[in-house]
Amino acid sequence: MLIGLDIGGTKIEGVSLDPSTYTLINKVRVATPKDNYAAFLDAVVSTIEALSSDQAPISVGIGCCGSLSKDTQRMQGSNLLYLNGEDFIGDLKKYIALPITIANDADCLAISEFKSGAAKHAENSCIAVIIGTGCGSGIIINGDVVTGLNNLGGEMGHNPLPGYKQEQDGEAVTCYCGSTNCIESFCSGTGFERTYAAKHVLLKAKTIFEQAEQGDADALQHIDTYTDQLARSLGSIVNVIDPEVIVLGGGMSNQGCIYPLVQDKLSRYTFSKAVTTQVVKAEHGDSSGVRGAAILPQLKGLV
Ligand SMILES: [Zn+2]
């Protein structure tokens, strides 16, 4: 069986899957140790051992914030600060004698949905976009996940919003990454709330959608602008990689009303106006990260 772990700031979630059908065999969830690398490593090993009690695993895939440095193979860019600079995979291999791979959450979403979810009918390509607290994406081309030369594959959230105009998109905004008008600042759930607050009052995204359902004109207009921003962003991706399916994940993807709006607007922003690319909701929701992590070693041909 395949073991997958999804390591987040508050919890470590683990699953075991059948390697042929990707059916769930078992799952475990433990709290992420707060500030101690040794305790963290111990928690990861214990989670893998707990999942190994039913059947022998053949591989371990890990979805984790942060990535491995191409030079040192040590962790970088993780919001679990004690992980940065550590030889996490090397240390784990001292305890677990199996193929081990690591990828970020957006890549895991793409893998999960491509192999066994909303994009499973795609022959060789899809893009999965997380629109949640932030905005990132995972890209599958020729059946493999694209990480890229600089580990930047899929970082569409930090491209400038295509067609930005102050009168339609609001005041220019500087992103934490240092760039101006990043897609993430508009298309993430956080961005959706920020741009609404700039025009009206600060409300939770869920409340804005509830008000739209009741016919509130401001909320409806805001959702129309938001889906246009998302369509512009996705249109530029279609023009570059033209994936077979676009899968949306993260909190904003649960709002069903955005799909027909984005679908309708998408072809306004693509080179050919006859695009048939479907924009669909992730099938496995919050479980996609851990499922994709489990499937990753198989996708990489390690098992
Ligand atoms: Zn940015």
Cα 177 to ligand 1 centre (Å) = 4
In this predicted model, what pLDDT tens digit does every residue of 231-283 receive, in sequence order?
Answer: 999 999 999 999 999 999 999 999 999 999 999 999 999 999 899 999 999 99
**Are 124 and 183 members of one domain?**
yes
Q: How confident is the model at residue 292 (pLDDT cuts 50, 70, 90)?
A: very high
Q: How confident is the model at residue 109 (pLDDT cuts 50, 70, 90)?
A: very high
**Are 89 and 138 members of one domain?**
no
Mean pLDDT, range 60-83, rounded to an integer: 89
**Are 213 and 266 members of one domain?**
yes
**Are 253 and 207 members of one domain?**
yes
Cα 133 to ligand 1 centre (Å) = 13
Cα 173 to ligand 1 centre (Å) = 10
pLDDT for position 16: 97
In this predicted model, what pLDDT tens digit does every residue of 9-30 receive, in sequence order?
Answer: 889 999 999 999 999 999 999 9
**Are 232 and 156 members of one domain?**
yes
pLDDT for position 24: 95
In this structure, what CATH number is given to the domain that contains residue 149? 3.30.420.40
Cα 187 to ligand 1 centre (Å) = 12
**Are 228 and 266 members of one domain?**
yes
- Kindly state whether residue 226 falls inside one of the protein's structural domains: yes
**Are 101 and 41 members of one domain?**
yes
Q: How many domains does the chain have?
A: 2
Cα 146 to ligand 1 centre (Å) = 20
**Are 60 and 128 members of one domain?**
no
In this predicted model, what pLDDT tens digit does every residue of 149-162 receive, in sequence order?
Answer: 888 888 899 999 99
Residue reference for tokens 């048939």: 276
Spell out the SS3 assignment of the chain: CEEEEEECCCEEEEEEECCCCCCEEEEEEEECCCCCHHHHHHHHHHHHHHHCCCCCCCEEEEEECCEECCCCCCEECCCCHHHCCCCHHHHHHCCCCCCEEEECHHHHHHHHHHHHCCCCCCCCCEEEEEECCCEEEEEEECCEECCCCCCCCCCHHHCECCCCCHHHHCCCCECCCCCECECHHHHCHHHHHHHHHHHCCCCCHHHHHHHHHCCCHHHHHHHHHHHHHHHHHHHHHHHHHCCCEEEEECHHHHCCCHHHHHHHHHHHHCCCCCCCCEEEECCCHHHHHHHHHHHHHHHCCCC
Cα 174 to ligand 1 centre (Å) = 8
Q: What is the edge-to-edge ordering of all strands in the sheet holding 2-7?
A: 24-31, 11-17, 2-7, 59-64, 100-103
Please state, in angstroms and rounded to a whole number, the distance separating the CA atoms of residues 38 and 236.
44
Cα 131 to ligand 1 centre (Å) = 14
Return mean pLDDT, the chain: 95
Whether pLDDT at 49 is above 90: yes
Residues in contact with 174: Cβ distance below 8 Å, sequence separation at least 6, in sequence order = 180
Cα-Cα-Cα-Cα torsion 245, 248, 253, 259, nearest 10 degrees, comes to -30
Cα 134 to ligand 1 centre (Å) = 10
Whether pLDDT at 78 is above 90: no
Cα 137 to ligand 1 centre (Å) = 14
Cα 190 to ligand 1 centre (Å) = 13
Instruction: Characterize 116-131 residue by residue with b for buried, 16 or more Cβ atoms within 10 angstroms of its Cβ, and e for exposed.
Output: bbbbeebeebbbbbbb
Cα 34 to ligand 1 centre (Å) = 27
Cα 166 to ligand 1 centre (Å) = 18
Domain that holds residue 66: 2-105+287-299
**Are 53 and 148 members of one domain?**
no
Cα 157 to ligand 1 centre (Å) = 7
- Percent of the chain residues topping a pLDDT of 90: 86
- Kindly state whether residue 112 falls inside one of the protein's structural domains: no
Whether pLDDT at 69 is above 90: no
At 131, list the tokens.
């629109």
Mean pLDDT, range 97-109, rounded to an integer: 94
pLDDT for position 107: 94
- Kindly state whether residue 294 falls inside one of the protein's structural domains: yes
- Kindly state whether residue 242 falls inside one of the protein's structural domains: yes
**Are 133 and 151 members of one domain?**
yes
**Are 244 and 133 members of one domain?**
yes
Please state, in angstroms and rounded to a whole number, the distance separating the CA atoms of residues 16 and 224.
41
Residue reference for tokens 């298309």: 187
Whether pLDDT at 286 is above 90: no
Cα 181 to ligand 1 centre (Å) = 7
pLDDT for position 285: 85
**Are 19 and 49 members of one domain?**
yes
Mean pLDDT, range 162-180, rounded to an integer: 96
Mean pLDDT, range 167-194, rounded to an integer: 96
